[in-house]
Chain A
Amino acid sequence: MPKATPDLSTNCAGIKSPNPFWLASAPPTNSGEQIMRAFEYGWGGAVWKTLGQDPPVINVTSRYGSLDVGGSKIAGFNNIELITDRPLEDNLKEMLAVKKRFGDRAVIASLMVPCERQAWHDITAKVMDAGADGIELNFGCPHGMSERGMGAAVGQVPEYVKMVTEFVKEKSSIPVLVKLTPNVADVRYAARAAKAGGADGVSLINTINSLMGVNLDTLTPKFAVGGKAAHGGYCGPAVKPIALNMVSQIATDPETKGLPISGIGGVSTWSDAAEFMLLGSSSVQLCTAVMHYGFRIIEDLNAGLENWMAGKGFKTLSDFIGVSAPNVTEWKHLNLHHKTVAEIDAKKCIGCQLCYVACNDTAHQCIAVKSNGKNGTSSRVPYVVQEDCVGCNLCSLVCPVEGCITMKPVETGHKPLTWDEYVKNGMTGYKEVYKRVHG
C-alpha cells in the first residue's frame, strides 16, 4: 500500500504550480537556460528577472555585498543591480521556450516600465503572448530604478500603485501580483491600493534600503563602484522577520484579508517557507538562498516541507496556509496576566555564564551564581531567582546550549486581562505577575 504523500501543489492568486517554491525575480531567473535548469531540479515556478523597455538598462560592476556574522556567510545580502539588462525580445523568446518544455510550472513575468498606460499595455500584451502564467508588477526595486520614477518610487505612493495596477488589469487576462516595497512606514496602504486597483494578489517583500559598511583602510564605502557607493537593497536571512511581519499585517488587515500573498524575504529552508505559509502566503519566493547554494536546494525544500506536513497530518497546503495569522494581533490584545519564567537545566549548563551577565547587566538582575568557595561549592552553573524573573527570554536567547534554558509558563490563577480591557476597566484589575521594582 503506497503511503499517501502530502500534496505540495499550490494555487496562488490563480497561478498554479506543483509546489509552492518559486524563484524570485533576480539573477537566478536571468535567462531561459537558467530557469529550465532550475525546473529540472524541481522548482515549482519562476518569476522572470524584471523586464522593461528597450533599450535595456546598463548595470555597474561590483553589484553585491554581504553581511557575514560570526563566521556565517551571507546573513544579509545587498545588491545594486537594476532590472534585466537583456533585450526584451530575447527574454520573451526564451519565456516561450520555457513554457513549452515545462507546461506544469509557473512562469511569472515581472514587469517595470514608466508610469504610462500605453507602456504597461504594450508589455502586458507581449508577456501574455510569450505564455506567462502571471504577471508581477515590480513596485519595489529601491535603488537606481526608483531614481527614474519606477520601482519603489511607485510602490511608496498608494495612488500610483492603484493606477498602474489598473493599467495592467485593463489589458491582462492572466493573474496580476503586485510586488510591494518594504521601504514604507506601513505596508498595508500599498496592499490596499493594489487590491483597489484590481490586483489578484501581492508579493512581498522586495529589498530594504541598505548600505553595507565602510572600508576602514580606504575610508570608502564597502562594495563600492570605483570608490563610490549607492544605497542598495537588502535581503537574505536577516530580513525574514521584517518580511513575516509585513505578510502577517496584510493577512490580518480587515481590508486585505484573503488577498493571496506570495511570501518573499529571507527564506532559506523549508521551515522558513512553512512560516510564511502559516502566516498566509500561498507561494514563497527565494533569491538569496539560491544565490548562496544553487538550484539544488529545491530538493531539500520539497522534502522538508513534505515530511513536516506528513508529521503534522496535513494533506494539502490549504490545510495550513494562514492558520497562524489570526494569532498575530495588536499589543493591546496580549494577556497581561500571562507569566513565564526562565529555568536553567543544570545538567545541560556548560558554565559560560553568558546568561548571568546578560540578565544582571542588561535585563532584570535575577540570575545568580553560588559564590565560589563559599557553601562548599565552586559551581559555575547559575540559577534563576524565579520570583524576580520577568520572563523576558534574554537568558535563553544568549545561551549557546540548545534546550538548556527554557521558559516555563507559570499559572498565575488570574483571569486573562488585556491592555484594552484594562483601560476600559478604568485602569483596574491588573494583578502584579512580575516584580517591577528592584528588591
Chain B
Amino acid sequence: MDSNSRKIFQENFKEIHPPLRPEEALVEANRCLYCYDAPCVKACPTHIEIPRFIKQIASGDLAGSAKTILEANAFGHSCARACPVEVLCEGACVYHDWQEKPISIALLQRRATDEANLVGLEPFEPGPDNGFSVAVVGGGPAGLACASYLRRLGYAVTLFDREKDLGGLNTHGIAEYKMTQKVSADEIKRILALGVTVKKGVEIGRDADPEDLLSGFDAVFLGIGLGETKRLGIPGETLRGVWDALSFIRHVKNRDLKPLGQSECTVIIGGGNTAIDAATQAKRTGAARVVLAYRRAETDMSAYEFERALARTDGVEFLLNAAPLRVLGKKKAEGVEFARTAVKNGKVIELRGSRITVECDRVIKAVGQAKQISVAKTLGLELRPDGRIAVDPRTLRSSHSKVFAGGDAISGGKEVVNAAADGKRAAYGIEKTLRPGAALPPGNEYWVSTIEGRRVAPIPPRSEEMAHA
C-alpha cells in the first residue's frame, strides 16, 4: 500500500463504532434490565439470548458471554459490527418506551467476542462422527454457519467456494469502516477449527458438476448468495470508469485503491444500502464530489434511514427522482444523462423535457444483484418467480429431498445475520432429514433451542401430581 492509501485508511476508515472500554462495557451491561421473554431476542434473526450474554458480561464471565452469543450465531463476532441493529435488536429495546437510549447491544456483543477472539476461545467441539457427509456450496455466512453446526452434530463437511478467500460478502462486501477483513478471517478460523474440508477456487457448475455432489454426499447445502450486479441496460455502460458496486467495494476492502483511480465526481446509481456503501466509500477514498442518484423519492429508498444519514454526513449529494438514460463519454465515462421522474400509481414515469446531465468521471452501478440460478437449474430445483430457490421455511429443504439452501440465495439479499440464521436452521433440517428420530449428540441442545427462539419456560399447566392443589 502506498503512503497516500495508508493515510486514507488511517484517517477516513476509522471504525464507525469504536469498541467500548472494559469499564464502559460494565456500566452499559449493568444498564440492561434483563427482560424476560425479551423483545431484543425476538428481533434477532438468530435469537441470541441477549439479556443473558449481557448479564454474563456484567458478572465478569466474558467466556460464557461469548459462548452464549456464538451458540446462537456462528457469525456473532462479525454481526457485532455488521448488523443494522437499529432495525433489529436495539430497535426493539424496551428503553425506547422511556424515550431513552437503547442498550448498546452490538458494542456489548463485540466486547464479549473480541475478548474471546483475543484469548483464542474455541467454545465448541465437533460431534462424534455420525457417518454422514454433507457438501456445502458457498463459503459465505450461510455456508460457513451451516458447516459449523453440521460439524457439531458430527457430519463430515466439505465446503466449496469459487473464491480463494472465504467469507463471501462478509469478507468482500461489508463497508470497511464497519468491519475489516481481519474480523471475518478470525470468525472463519474459529469455524474451520471444527474440522471442515475446504475446497477453495472450485466453482460448482463450472469446475465440478452439481449432480456429482448428489452422488458423492448424503446432502447438499447451497449458500451461493446472489449473482453479479444487475445491468442498467443503458448506452455507455461499458465505458471505462463505469464500475459495479461490488467490484468497487471489493477493491476498497482489499485496500487496493490504485485501480480505482482518482475521481473529481462519482455518480452512484441506486437506492439501497449497497448504493450508500458505495457512495460513502467513494467519498472516503477521496472522490471530491459524490452524487447518489435514485429514480424515486428518498422515502422509497430501501437504504435504512441511518445509512442515508451517514451518507449525508459524509457529504454525499442526493439526486432524487432521476432515472439514468445513458452514460456519456467516448472511451471513458464523462457524465450521466438523467430524466427527472415522478411516481404515478406506483410507477416511475419520465417527466418530459426534464433531462439533466451530471458531469462525472466515475459511475458506480448499485441497482441490486441478479439471482444466481444455474446451479439450482442444473439440480432441477424449484425456483420462486423472482429466481430465489424455493425452500420449506422450517427445514430450508428445497424441492429436492437432498438439497437445502439458505442465505441470500433464498432471501434475495438480506443481512449476514439472516444468512447465519439460515445456516443454523438448515443444519438442523439436514439432521432431521438424515437422522430422523435420532437423539441429538451431547452439546447441541442449546443452539437447536435458539432456532425458533429459546424456550422461555412457559408457566406450565399444573401437572397431574399437582392437581389437588
| A-B pair number, CB within 8 angstroms | 76
Residues of B438-469 contacting chain A, CB below 8 A: 457, 459-460, 462-463, 465-466, 468-469
Partner of A300, one of B61, B63, B468: B61
In the complex where A32-B465, A40-B457 touch, is A401 in contact with B64 (Cβ < 8 A)? no
The verdict on B97 contacting chain A, using a C-beta distance below 8 Å, is no
Are the C-beta atoms of A402 and B468 separated by less than 8 Å? no
Q: How far is the CA of A72 from the CA of B380 in the complex (A)?
A: 60
The verdict on A413 contacting chain B, using a C-beta distance below 8 Å, is no
In the complex where A33-B463, A41-B457, A308-B61 touch, is A303 in contact with B56 (Cβ < 8 A)? yes
Q: How far is the CA of A293 from the CA of B64 in the complex (A)?
A: 18
- Closest CB in chain B relative to A365 CB, distance in Å: 28
Of A77-85, A89-97, A233-241, A320-328, which binds chain B?
A89-97
Are the C-beta atoms of A296 and B457 separated by less than 8 Å? yes
User: Could you say which interface size class chain A belongs to?
Assistant: 35 or more
Residues of B1-33 contacting chain A, CB below 8 A: 22-23, 26, 30
Residues of A245-280 contacting chain B, CB below 8 A: 269-271
Are the C-beta atoms of A270 and B457 separated by less than 8 Å? no
On chain A, the residues within 8 Å of B22 by CB distance are: 402-403
Are the C-beta atoms of A94 and B465 separated by less than 8 Å? yes
On chain A, the residues within 8 Å of B132 by CB distance are: none
- Closest CB in chain B relative to A380 CB, distance in Å: 19
Q: How far is the CA of A308 from the CA of B63 in the complex (A)?
A: 9
Partner of B457, one of A37, A97, A293, A401: A37
On chain A, the residues within 8 Å of B55 by CB distance are: 297, 300
In the complex where A293-B34, A303-B67 touch, is A402 in contact with B23 (Cβ < 8 A)? yes
Q: How far is the CA of A424 from the CA of B213 in the complex (A)?
A: 86
Taken residue by residue from 30 to 59, chain A's Cβ proximity to chain B (1 for < 8 Å, 0 otherwise) reads as: 011100110011000000000000000000
Q: Which of A33, A41, A94, A403 has the most CB of B within 10 A?
A: A33
Are the C-beta atoms of B64 and A300 separated by less than 8 Å? yes
The verdict on B200 contacting chain A, using a C-beta distance below 8 Å, is no
Are the C-beta atoms of A303 and B61 separated by less than 8 Å? yes
In the complex where A90-B468, A97-B466 touch, is A3 in contact with B64 (Cβ < 8 A)? no
The verdict on A373 contacting chain B, using a C-beta distance below 8 Å, is no
The verdict on B59 contacting chain A, using a C-beta distance below 8 Å, is yes
Q: How far is the CA of A266 from the CA of B68 in the complex (A)?
A: 25
Are the C-beta atoms of A94 and B466 separated by less than 8 Å? yes
Q: How far is the CA of A33 from the CA of B457 in the complex (A)?
A: 12
The verdict on A426 contacting chain B, using a C-beta distance below 8 Å, is no
Partner of A271, one of B23, B60, B457, B459: B60
On chain B, the residues within 8 Å of A295 by CB distance are: 457
User: Which residue of chain A is the closest to B34 with respect to CB atoms?
Assistant: A293
- Closest CB in chain A relative to B461 CB, distance in Å: 10
On chain A, the residues within 8 Å of B60 by CB distance are: 269, 271, 304
On chain B, the residues within 8 Å of A68 by CB distance are: none
Q: How far is the CA of A3 from the CA of B124 in the complex (A)?
A: 9
Q: Which of A37, A296, A299 has the most CB of B within 10 A?
A: A296
The verdict on B52 contacting chain A, using a C-beta distance below 8 Å, is yes
Are the C-beta atoms of A90 and B457 separated by less than 8 Å? no
Show the binding face of B for A, using Cβ within 8 Å: 22-23, 26, 30, 34, 36, 52, 55-56, 58-61, 63-64, 67-68, 125, 457, 459-460, 462-463, 465-466, 468-469
Q: Please, could you name 15 A-B residue pairs with CB atoms under 8 Å apart, sorted by A? A: A31-B466, A33-B466, A36-B463, A93-B465, A97-B463, A97-B465, A269-B59, A295-B457, A296-B36, A300-B52, A300-B56, A303-B61, A303-B64, A304-B61, A403-B22
- Shortest 9 CB-CB contacts between residues of A and residues of B: A402-B23, A97-B465, A304-B61, A269-B59, A303-B64, A307-B63, A307-B64, A33-B466, A304-B64
